[in-house]
């Protein structure tokens, strides 16, 4: 992805959504750095949708988090065969033991025995980037909805969680895309 003037992006973000705590600011800066350095993210709209998803899934904290109720009342909230519980963690709230195991194998890390690693920023970013690009979460990829002339932020929610909060996240993505475009660094 093209380089982004991170301070300009933060200025635009604060103008749109209000002041940020230091941890939120640090989280946004981290994600922008990862996105700008990720050679597999070539469409700025993919970056916008990823950031919009993080804004929603992490309740505006801009840090990888654990699911607030830790899966209470859900099948994935009960301990698996290894005694670990595979409730939502990270930027995209990875759930279910088999998803932790599969993603861990793809990334070369043992998420099955160490699910807490999904909450470290670097690992959470890798899970999000790979999962959204490859369709690892629901079988649907970013390219299904955002490619070439096509940009369907509403239905892109199916990459993560059906159409749950799709309109809200689509609105975030549209605004974040505009902020990213306004923050592109011009190369001479």
Structure tokens at 7: 């301070």
What's the rounded Cα separation, in Å, for the pair 74 and 57? Answer: 18
165: left (phi over 0), alpha (psi -120 to 50) or beta: left
> Which fold is adopted by the domain 6-182?
Lysozyme (1.10.530)
Neighbours of 159 (CB within 10 A): 25
- CA–CA separation, 176 vs 178, rounded Å? 5
What residues does each domain of the chain span?
A: 6-182
Do residues 49 and 142 touch, judged by C-beta distance below 8 A? yes
Q: What is the pLDDT along the chain (188 residues), one digit of tens a residue?
A: 779 999 999 999 999 999 999 999 999 999 999 999 999 998 999 999 999 999 999 999 999 999 999 999 999 999 999 999 999 999 999 999 999 999 999 999 999 999 999 999 999 999 999 999 999 999 999 999 999 999 999 999 999 988 999 999 999 999 999 999 999 987 65
């Amino acid at each position: 992805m093209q380089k982004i003037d991170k301070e300009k992006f933060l200025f635009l973000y604060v103008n749109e959504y209000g002041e940020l705590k230091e941890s939120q600011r640090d989280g946004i800066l981290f994600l922008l750095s990862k996105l700008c350095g990720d050679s597999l993210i070539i469409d700025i709209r993919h970056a916008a949708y990823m950031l919009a998803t993080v804004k929603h899934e992490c309740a505006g904290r801009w840090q990888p988090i654990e699911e607030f109720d830790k899966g209470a009342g859900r099948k994935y909230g009960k301990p698996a065969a290894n005694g670990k519980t595979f409730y939502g963690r990270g930027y995209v709230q990875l759930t279910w033991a088999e998803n932790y195991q599969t993603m861990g194998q793809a990334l070369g890390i043992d998420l099955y025995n160490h699910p807490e690693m999904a909450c470290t920023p670097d690992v959470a970013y890798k899970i999000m980037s790979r999962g959204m690009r490859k369709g690892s979460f629901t079988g649907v990829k970013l390219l299904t909805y955002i490619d070439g002339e096509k940009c369907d932020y509403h239905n892109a929610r199916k990459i993560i969680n059906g159409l749950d909060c799709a309109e809200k996240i689509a609105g975030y993505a549209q605004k974040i895309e505009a902020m990213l475009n306004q923050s592109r660094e011009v190369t001479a």
